[in-house]
Amino acid sequence: MRRHQTGSGLHKTALAALFTVGNTLIRYPWRSVGPDMLGLFLLSAVGALIPALCLYPLFCRLLRRRLSGRRGRLCLAAALALPLGAYALFCVWRSCGDYLNFASGLILPDSGRLLLALGFLGCVVWLSRVSGQGLDAFSLVCFVCVLACVLALFCFGIPHFRPEYFGVRLPGSAAELAGSLPVLLWESFLPLAVLSGYFALAAPRRGERALAGGTAVGCGILLLCVLQTLLTFGASYAAELRYPYSFAVRILSVGQYFFRLEGFSYLLDYAACLLRAAVCLAAARRLLGRFFPRLARWLPPAAGTVIFGIFCLG
Amino acid sequence: MPAVITDRDARTVSGSLEESLALFREIFSLDATFRQREVRSGAGVRCCLLYLDGMVSSELVNQSIVRPLILAAPAEGDVADWMEHQVLYANDVARKEKLSDLLRGILYGDSVLLMEGAACGLVINSKGWRTRGISEPGNETVQQGPREGFDEAAMLNLAQLRRKLLTPDLCIEMLRLGRRTDTMVFVCYLHSLAAPQLVRQVKERLAAVDIDGVLDSNYLNELIRDRRHSVFKTCGSTERPDVVAAKLLEGRVAVMVDGTPVVLTVPYLFSENFQSDEDYYLSFWVSSVGRALRYFCFLVTVALPAFYLALLTFHQRLLPTFLLLSAAQSRAGVPFSSLVECLLLLLLLEILKETGARMPPNLGHTLSIVGGLVVGQAAVEARLVSAPMLIAVAVSGIAGLMIPRLRGAVFYLRLGMVLLAAVLGLPGCFLGLTLIFARIVGLSSFGISCVGSLEEPTVQGLKDTVVRLPWWMMKTRPVFNRNRRRQGGGGKGR
Amino acid sequence: MRRTAVLSLLLALPLLLAGCRAGGRSEPEQIYLVSAVGFDPDSNGGVRLSLEVPLTRESADESPAPALFTGEGGTVEEALRQIAAGLGRRLLFSHCALLVLGDGLSREQMEAIFGFAESGVTLPLAAQVIAAPDAGALLRGGSLSTPAAGYDVPGIFRQVSGSLGLDVRCRIYELRADASPGRPVVLPLFRAAGEDAPEAAVFGGLRLLREGKPALELSPEQSVWYAMLTDRYDGENGSPGGLLGVRLRGVKSEIGAGRSGEDLWLSLALRMEAADRLPAGEADALCARIEEGVRGLFLSLREQAGEDVFLLGDRLARQDAALWQELAPDFARLFAGAELRVSCEIRAKESGNR
């Protein structure tokens, strides 16, 4: 056990990186940000490090230490942890929903949505309940596959890039920034706060390096995907497409025989969404478990059932 | 005759030879191989030699027991003591009072000498049963390296192991398992390398085994393993002494069962499924290629039919156009759906594999003709199956042969993947791979995670997984071992 | 025990459900693979849709034979429904490599066509778009896009554009990414070879489509001049020989305005390479011809179109954003009087001397 903890920096970095990717590629608010998407993405990537650097130490101080006998600390911790746990459950629902919409819209039209939801949620619940070692191993293997896919797809896409589409334009005024930033905060900052909470409770001491490093790596992966989309389609056309990155990968070909490489992007979306949902559910379980240990054990299957019910009704 | 030999039977032999002989005659009344040889020793002591015909060596009995008895000088002091130390020429003589001990000796091929006036018997080593001899194991052949294999006699196997590990650190502890077979089971480990809790756990689990008979190590394998329902192995098995020695040198524990050449080794890591015995006898360049191929073949054998089925039925747009047209053309007229076609071919593949394993060698030509021509050609021409699907299943089957240790698991995994692909296409394949990975990650062997190499994704942690690094880089033992350092100094090869 | 039962049930679920009819599942022989799509306006103001579908044959030795399905409707979807109603199989568009746009399609109809391509999982965005006088007739010609042998028309275009040095981007996503108000859509034009060889298609130059205006057609030679004028010439990839026996090695273009902001000018310096050294008189004559061709096209198109089909405004914006901002409101007038300065130089390949 001790050996696993000391050697787990790489695992946690991989986990943080995949969590950062999450359902961002599916949900990225291309339409909202318009031609400024690269500039705003870079801003949001910088902002993504804020939870790692600022919130993580706070969570460590409040949530890791003993709470009994210190009412003030207990109230503060509860005020922080319980809403964060609730938001984490919301993230689980959103991540699963986004992937299901993506799968049923692009991969499996007209078939198997509920069954896919059942399987996906089952995997999410399992991953959230498995030991840290299992989740770490899963993260590491998935990260290697995802990174290889992204790099390979980026390299194959280079012949299709048009340099004239590259342009970093930051918002010119506070009003412009104010209009776009809340969307990015909602999409990237808050979910990463959940990750910080998870790290505070699950990661070993000095996990901030893995958290910050993993977030940065995840942003790097997203940057590659965003760049590939932008350089292939341009900002205005990319904003019109429903899943721009998948479409950008769809046009790729290698020589005369290898076409339609978007299957690899499906793996990326699957692994990232699965991991984000699982970590959010695990974070919710741990956050709730600090105050209600017996209830926390039942949270993953209960949450999975409720979310599946919502999908059935929807 | 007692149904089982139990150490709780406290009966002993009496000093009266007639009474003792009557007792043994009663026990072996229905055993036609039981022999009694009465001998009046040269010293005038009346003795009787008891043994089972066919289990003893006649020459040993004659030369080492009967002859010295007849030529013996008059006894001095205790008769049994005199016989044991002054008369008999055997290398192993044990003095036993309890009936159960004497019975055990007779049943295992020893001879028991009863003497008038002695309230004990002498168990004399006179085993003469034939063994298969040392030969290369049929399913663990190597191109380069040792070719010895175990056989059914545990003592000979232990001797082979001893020759590999010339160290007093080698511990061999014996248990007897099986109420009716009373099989000898040996737990072997290197005292300074094996974790004490691991050894204790092995012995506890073995001691808890309560079964009628143990005829093979797999009986124990299924009774002592961690996850009893898992399709994956959590106990290793081998018939090679060099492999067992190597495992012991890595801190593992070996369980040797008398009567079978297959020795269990624990703990068993998942990466060992992809190791070949000669990986360490060939150059690391060659071994690494083979090792990487095996990992690749595992993915191919488990996932290829499923991915092909998913692409063919759900995601035609991901297939190259010429392949899709070829598949459509080849499927024209096939009465089965792709799923049924795939399942039928998988079933046929398993039948062919089983038949190939079971049938006599002289029918091999028939099998290859039937398998190749009938299935490969006639079925396709008759439009019962399509060629692309047949190729996919065949490639999957061939890839599966690269990893014989996962033979059983691969069948279930492949089937599960195909069914998931048939229902959910590519997402189903991804879910299947996730579940397989979940299962593998959750495996443990005697409390040790079977994916320990993933815990330590460093050069030393992964040195013997997907590739096999050269020996001068393999400085440490596996991650679960308490004595990690394998090599001294800073050897970096030349 | 209960956990085992639940797990067993979950594992058995795929087995039980595998036999169910999943909506999205279909065998490959139950689909029609559309290899090319043609759009023509019909007489009622709607769209006539032509789908080329390779039909698989019994024998594996024979390559698939193309069949053509046509349908009409007020919209693309209606035409498609009409076709699908008469077929026993599902249509699969994701392998379509060719979109043919016939004459007379309105801008709204073209927007609808591209919307059809982008919605969900229909046409691949990498499909090549070409223009033809009659899309249906072109596709009816025969095996223009036989998948087994490779798509002929896209292959022809690759070959021709390579030899001519045209860098015209005409895939769906390229057209859509480049689209902006006032910007012409440039498509390669193909015609059937004729009655003698109806299954062959011939590259007929470029077609410029503008919003609500008649299309402009350029011959292959004019297409090369046009590519030079719009920075779409890729001489490096042109095969030796190219157009007029010489190869364009480089174009240096400049755009600017006079001191007062008036008098817009475009300068093209063409650097040509000949395989062998040409006599001085012949080289001069060739240069003059090239300069005349380029200048002639510029003047002709400016007169026909009356607007900046050469995208000079975009070029000026890239080169000098401040100047563009100053000239943009009056650019139409400036373009009408813009001067084109063309200079041409031919060098021999071996010696590098003229």
- The predicted complex's ipTM stands at 0.89
From the list C120, C124, C177, the residue facing A109 with the nearest CB is: C120
Query: Helices (DSSP H) in B284-372: which residue ranges?
Result: 284-313, 321-331, 338-358, 364-369
- Please state the separation of Cα A30 from the chain's center in Å: 17
Q: In angstroms, rounded to a whole number, what is the distance separating the alpha carbons of residues B62 and B276?
A: 47
Write down the pLDDT at residue A167: 74
CB contact under 8 A, A234 and C25: no
Of B46, B134, B36, B49, residue with least CA distance to B90: B49
Tokens matching residue A124 = 């999410």
Please answer whether residues B199 and B189 qualify as being in contact, where contact means their C-beta atoms are separated by less than 8 angstroms.
yes
Which residues of chain B make contact with C31, given a CB cutoff of 8 A?
Answer: 316, 328
φ and ψ at residue B257, rounded to 5 degrees: -115, 130
pLDDT tens digits for C50-106? Answer: 998 888 766 656 666 778 899 998 888 889 889 988 888 888 888 888 889 988 887
> Strand, helix or coil at B287?
helix
CB atoms C126 and A251 under 8 Å: yes
Q: Which two tokens stand for residue C2?
A: 């209960």
Q: Nearest residue of A to residue B317 by CA position?
A: A260
Measure CB to CB from residue A3 to each of B426, B457, B479 and give the nearest one. B479
Q: What would the mean pLDDT of B415-419 be, rounded to a whole number? A: 94
Please name the residue that has the structure tokens 């008999």. B88
Q: What is the mean pLDDT of residues C200-207?
A: 83
Check: CB of residue C55 under 8 Å from CB of residue C67. yes
pLDDT at residue C243 greater than cutoff 70: no
Say what the alpha-carbon torsion angle C21, C24, C25, C27 is, to the nearest 10 degrees: 130
Q: What is the mean pLDDT of residues B304-320?
A: 91
Phi/psi of residue B96, nearest 5 degrees: -130, 140
Given an 8 Å threshold on Cβ–Cβ distance, is C95 in contact with B420? no
Q: Give the residue from B218, B241, B236 showing the smallest Cα distance to B156.
A: B241
- Contact between B455 and A7 using a beta-carbon 8 Å cutoff: yes
Are the C-beta atoms of A55 and A168 separated by less than 8 Å? Answer: no
* pLDDT value of residue A2: 40
CATH assignment of C219-354? Answer: 3.30.300.210
> Which residues in chain C have their CB less than 8 angstroms from residue B339's CB?
18
Q: Where are the domains of chain C?
A: 30-217, 219-354
Residue range A119-174, pLDDT digits in tens: 899 899 988 887 777 888 889 999 999 999 999 999 999 988 988 888 777 666 77
Q: How far is C121 from chain B (nearest CA, A)?
A: 9
* The pair of three-digit structure tokens given for residue B327, joined into one six-digit string: 């598949």
Question: Which chain A positions have a beta carbon within 8 Å of B457's beta carbon?
Answer: 7, 10-11, 140
At residue C354, the pLDDT reads 47
Q: Say which of B325, B331, B337 has its CB closest to residue C64.
A: B325
pLDDT at B190 over 80: yes
Q: Which residues does A19 contact at the CB level (< 8 Å), separation at least 6?
A: A191, A192, A195, A214, A218, A272, A275, A276, A279
Q: Look at the domain A2-313 and name its fold.
A: Amino acid/polyamine transporter I (1.20.1740)
In three-state secondary structure terms, C20 is coil
How high is the pLDDT of residue C240?
41
Beta strands of B378-481 (E only): which ranges? 444-445, 448-449
- Tell me: pLDDT of B461 over 50: yes
- Interchain pair C14, B422: CB under 8 A: yes
Q: Chains with ≥3 Cβ pairs under 8 A against C?
A: A, B
Give the residue, A47 or B391, on which the prediction is more confident. Answer: B391
For residue B46, the Cα-to-chain-centroid distance in whole angstroms is 47
**At residue C296, does pLDDT exceed 80?**
yes
Q: In the predicted model, is pLDDT for residue C274 greater than 80? A: no
Judging contacts by C-beta atoms under 8 Å, the chain C residues touching residue B324 are 28, 33, 95
Size of interface A-B (CB pairs under 8 A): 91
A123 touching C, CB under 8 A?
A: no
C260: pLDDT confidence band, cut at 50, 70 and 90?
Answer: low
To the nearest whole Å, the CA of A105 is away from the closest chain B CA by 13
pLDDT of the residue at A296: 80
Q: Does C9 touch chain B (CB under 8 A)?
A: no
A19 contacts chain C (CB < 8 A): no
Is the Cβ–Cβ distance between A108 and A119 less than 8 Å? no
Whether C139 shows a pLDDT value over 90: the answer reads: no
From CA B22, how far away is CA B291, in angstroms rounded?
64
Instruction: Label residue C239 by pLDDT band (50, 70, 90).
Output: very low
Mean pLDDT of chain B: 87
Residue B81's pLDDT is 85
Sequence length of chain A is 314
Provide, as residue numbers in chain A, all residues whose Cβ is less than 8 Å from the Cβ of B317: 260
* Residue A146 · residue A267 · CB < 8 Å: yes
Of A73-77, A122-126, A300-304, C231-235, minimum mean pLDDT range: C231-235
pLDDT tens profile B111-154: 999 988 888 999 999 888 778 888 888 888 888 888 889 989 89
Facing residue for C17 by CB, picked from B312, B331, B423: B423
- pLDDT of amino acid A1: 38
pTM, entire model: 0.85
Interatomic CA distance for residues A152 and C302, integer angstroms:
45
Query: Does residue B5 or residue C272 have the better pLDDT?
Result: C272
For the residues C245-263, what does the mean pLDDT come to? 73
Domain ranges of chain A: 2-313
- Residue by residue, DSSP assigns C111-140 as HHHHHHHHSTTSS-TT-EEEE-S-HHHHHH
- Find the range with the poorest average confidence among A95-104, B181-190, C327-336: C327-336
Query: How many other CB atoms sit within 10 Å of the CB of residue A174?
Result: 9
Least CB–CB distance from B423: residue in A112, A141, A262:
A112
Question: What whole-number distance in Å separates Cα of residue C312 and Cα of residue C316?
Answer: 6
Looking at residue C148, its pLDDT comes to 47
| C127: nearest CA partner in chain A | A251
Q: pLDDT confidence of A205, banded at 50, 70, 90?
A: low
Put simply, the answer to whether A105 touches C24 (Cβ < 8 Å) is: no
Q: Which segment, A23-27, A111-115, A281-285, is predicted with the most confidence on average?
A: A281-285
Check: CB of residue B253 under 8 Å from CB of residue B198.
yes
The confidence score (pLDDT) of residue B299 equals: 94
Q: What is the pLDDT of residue B398?
A: 92
- B389's tokens: 């699907």
How many contacts, defined by CB atoms under 8 Å, are there between B and C?
Answer: 78
What pLDDT is recorded for position A273? Answer: 93
Question: What percent of chain B has a predicted confidence (pLDDT) above 90?
Answer: 39
In angstroms, the CA A16 to CA C266 distance is 54
Contact call for C173 and A232, based on CB within 8 A: yes
Using alpha carbons only, give the angle B289, B243, B139 rounded to the nearest 5 degrees.
75
Give the number of C-alpha atoms closer than 13 A to the C-alpha of residue C24, restricted to the C-beta side: 27
Distances in whole angstroms, Cα of residue C27 to Cα of each of B422, C65, C121: 11, 20, 18
A101 touches chain C (CB under 8 A): no
**Lowest pLDDT segment from A6-15, A69-78, C137-146, C205-214:** C137-146
Neighbouring CB atoms inside 10 A of C30's CB total: 15
Per-residue pLDDT reduced to its tens digit, B48-91? 999 998 888 888 889 988 898 888 877 678 888 888 888 888 88
The string over C279-290, giving b where at least 16 C-beta atoms fall within 10 Å of a residue's C-beta and e elsewhere, is: eeeebeebbeeb
Q: What is the mean pLDDT of residues B316-322?
A: 86
Res. B41 pLDDT band, cuts 50 70 90: confident
Model pLDDT, residue C235: 64
Does A148 contact chain B (CB < 8 Å)?
A: no
Chain B residue numbers touching C35 (CB-CB < 8 A): 321
| B436-441 contacts at long range (C-beta below 8 A, 24 or more positions apart) | B436/B302, B437/A138, B437/A141, B438/A123, B438/A126, B438/A127, B438/A130, B438/A134, B438/A138, B439/B230, B439/B231, B439/B232, B440/B232, B440/B270, B441/A130, B441/A133, B441/A134, B441/A137, B441/A138
Contact C148 B338 (CB under 8 A): no
Q: In the predicted model, what is the mean pLDDT of chain A?
A: 83
pLDDT score, position A3: 42
CB contact under 8 A, B329 and C54: no
Find residues 139-168 of chain C whose CB sits inside 8 Å of chain B: 147-148
Chain B contact set for C28 (CB, 8 A): 312-313, 316, 324, 327-328, 331
Band the pLDDT of C142: cuts 50, 70, 90: low
Does pLDDT of A243 surpass 60? yes
Judged against a pLDDT cut of 90, whether residue A278 lies above it is answered with yes
What DSSP letter does each residue of A141-195 carry, written as one string? HHHHHHHHHHHHHHHHHGGG--GGG------SSHHHHHHHHHHHIIIIIHHHHHH
A7 touches chain B (CB under 8 A): yes
pLDDT higher than threshold 70 for residue C187:
yes
Task: Check whether A210 has a pLDDT greater than 50.
Answer: yes
Kindly state the average pLDDT of the residues A291-303: 83
3-state secondary structure of B349: helix
- CA distance linking residue A176 with residue A36, whole number of Å: 10
Mean pLDDT for the stretch of residues A5-25:
81
Going by C-beta distance under 8 Å and a sequence separation of 6 or more, which residues neighbour residue C203? C156, C157, C160, C188, C189, C190, C220
The more confident residue out of B422 and B130 is B422
Yes or no: say if C232 and C167 are a contact pair by the CB < 8 Å rule.
Answer: yes
Q: Which residues are paired to B402 by β-bridges? A: none
Q: How far is CA B45 from the centre of its chain?
A: 48
Contact check, Cβ <8 Å, C177/A165: yes
Picking from B207, B205, B179, B175, the residue whose alpha carbon sits closest to that of residue B188 is: B175
- Position A5 confidence tier, pLDDT thresholds 50, 70, 90: very low
Query: Kindly report the CA angle at B423 between B353 and C16, in degrees rounded to 5?
Result: 75
Higher local confidence (pLDDT), C297 or C315 = C297
Return mean pLDDT, chain C.
78
B243-257 pLDDT tens trace: 999 999 999 999 999
What is the model's pLDDT at position B339?
A: 93
Query: Quick one: which of B220, B283, B211 has its CA closest to B255?
Result: B220
Supply the Cα-derived Rg of chain C in whole angstroms. 26
Q: Return the pLDDT at C3.
A: 63
Contact between C58 and B328 using a beta-carbon 8 Å cutoff:
no
Nearest to A106 among C17, C118, C121 (CB): C121
